[in-house]
């Protein structure tokens, strides 16, 4: 049976989302600073940007590669799929175009009833109206022996952590203080209990902390 | 001219104080977990507990030793000296007995007017009624070429960080989530700007992060 995994980029003060988006800079400067080490890796540049052979190798890249390995299904919140910006729009198919980078069944939590969407490259979006627990159970079944990734957003990831659904949490901590946004650690007192915690620092300054059980 | 330094033990979610004290357990279980690696070092056991030759060596101990090195004066808040529990009590001389472990002039911020207290071993408590800036300036003058430590509590340390008074911040991050208490990182957005940040992980699992300028 596979594990349920969460991977997030957070700031040293725990923020996993940023607040300085503008129409001119839709990601914002903070997002760039938060994800700089990950976005610079060879894995990210090859798998997400389609730039093979470029980018950093080493510890940051090892974690980036692990993020993509062994995933058999994904769970995400409605916001990550874009249903907050595009509610009740039957034409909306997510942010990722016709060939999303998942390549596996993706279970989207939403109050909307929507038919499943079969995309190119193996991604099939299923829409789950009941509970996070049900979505994770459906994803586990779909993943078989492979792992399930709870991809985001932060609220969904934190709910999965708080509910004890997650077997492996990896955070890549950028050594910056954002001071605002959604804090991953809110209401997770003693989450570490029952997990083995391992930390290591990459040459980029990113602190990788992994909770495993 | 010496530097102004802050050293704190914090949890992974940024808490530098704990909330589970009881009459039976006046420090609380969380405090023990937060400071376990530091309290286990050879330096702590020798300098604070008077147990020479015992305790861990290695990275945690190197930071513990550095905490005590090169300090010419200390600044602390009224709470750390005990004036919240012992207000307007001319007999109160702090928590540390006749021979406090500072051995240098200590500048205590308080609204109370109190005469300076000369203790054994070189510690002299001075009471500053004006501002944190004034207390740090007086401590810098007293320290000469040595460093000033802003010892605590968390509110005083954070105020010094926010005011740009601190040249070196070292946090020893225990890989635990406390979820409540006083959060060091509150209102310190972009504190890292202008500092060099260095992180390393001790075998104990403690993540040492140092901001220097």
The overall average pLDDT reported for chain B is 95
Would the pLDDT of A48 be above 90? Answer: no
Give the CA distances from residue A47 to residues A61, A101, A193, B91, B132, in Å, rounded to whole numbers and listed in that order. 12, 8, 34, 69, 51
Would the pLDDT of B131 be above 80? Answer: yes
- Model pLDDT for residues A124-141, shown as the tens digit of each residue: 999 999 999 999 999 999
* pLDDT value, residue B47: 87
**Residues 6 or more apart whose Cβ sits within 8 Å of residue A177:** A11, A12, A13, B185, B188, B189, B190, B191, B192
- A31 in contact with chain B, both atoms CB, cutoff 8 A: no
Contact in structure between B165 and B5 (CB atoms under 8 Å)? no
Summarize the confidence of residues A99-121 as an average pLDDT: 95
Report the distance separating Cα A192 and Cα A171, nearest Å. 13
Tell whether omega for the bond before A73 is within 30 degrees of 0, i.e. cis.
Answer: no
Give the minimum alpha-carbon distance from B189 to chain A in angstroms, rounded to a whole number: 4
Would the pLDDT of A76 be above 80? Answer: yes
Would the pLDDT of B1 be above 80? Answer: no
Confidence of residue A112 (pLDDT cuts 50, 70, 90): very high
- B13 in contact with chain A, both atoms CB, cutoff 8 A: yes
Contact in structure between B139 and B148 (CB atoms under 8 Å)? yes
All residues of chain B having their beta carbon less than 8 Å from the beta carbon of residue A12 are 185, 192, 209
Summarize the confidence of residues B76-81 as an average pLDDT: 96
- Model pLDDT for residues B29-71, shown as the tens digit of each residue: 999 999 999 999 999 999 888 899 999 999 999 999 999 999 9
Domain limits, chain B: 4-212
List the single residue in A with minimal CA-CA distance to B15: A13
Would the pLDDT of A1 be above 80? Answer: no
- A32 in contact with chain B, both atoms CB, cutoff 8 A: no
> What CATH number should be reported for the domain whose range is B4-212?
3.40.430.10
* pLDDT value, residue A47: 87
* pLDDT value, residue A49: 86
* pLDDT value, residue A197: 98
């Amino acid at each position: 049976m596979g594990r349920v995994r969460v991977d997030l980029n957070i700031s040293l003060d725990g923020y996993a989302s940023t607040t300085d988006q503008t129409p001119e800079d839709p990601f914002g400067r903070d997002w760039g600073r938060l994800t700089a080490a990950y976005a610079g890796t060879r894995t990210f540049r090859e798998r997400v940007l389609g730039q093979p052979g470029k980018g950093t190798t080493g510890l940051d890249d090892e974690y980036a590669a692990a993020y993509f390995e062994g995933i058999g299904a994904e769970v995400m919140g409605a916001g990550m799929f874009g249903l907050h910006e595009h509610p009740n729009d039957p034409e909306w198919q997510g942010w990722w175009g016709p060939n999303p980078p998942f390549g596996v069944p993706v279970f989207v939590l939403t109050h909307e009833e929507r038919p499943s969407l079969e995309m190119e490259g193996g991604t099939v979006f299923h829409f789950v109206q009941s509970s996070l627990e049900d979505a994770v159970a459906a994803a586990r079944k779909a993943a078989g022996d492979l792992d399930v990734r709870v991809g985001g957003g932060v609220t969904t990831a934190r709910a999965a952590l708080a509910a004890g659904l997650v077997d492996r949490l990896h955070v890549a901590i950028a050594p910056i203080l954002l001071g605002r946004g959604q804090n991953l650690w809110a209401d997770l007192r003693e989450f570490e209990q029952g997990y083995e915690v391992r930390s290591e620092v990459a040459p980029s300054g990113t602190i990788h902390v992994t909770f495993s059980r």
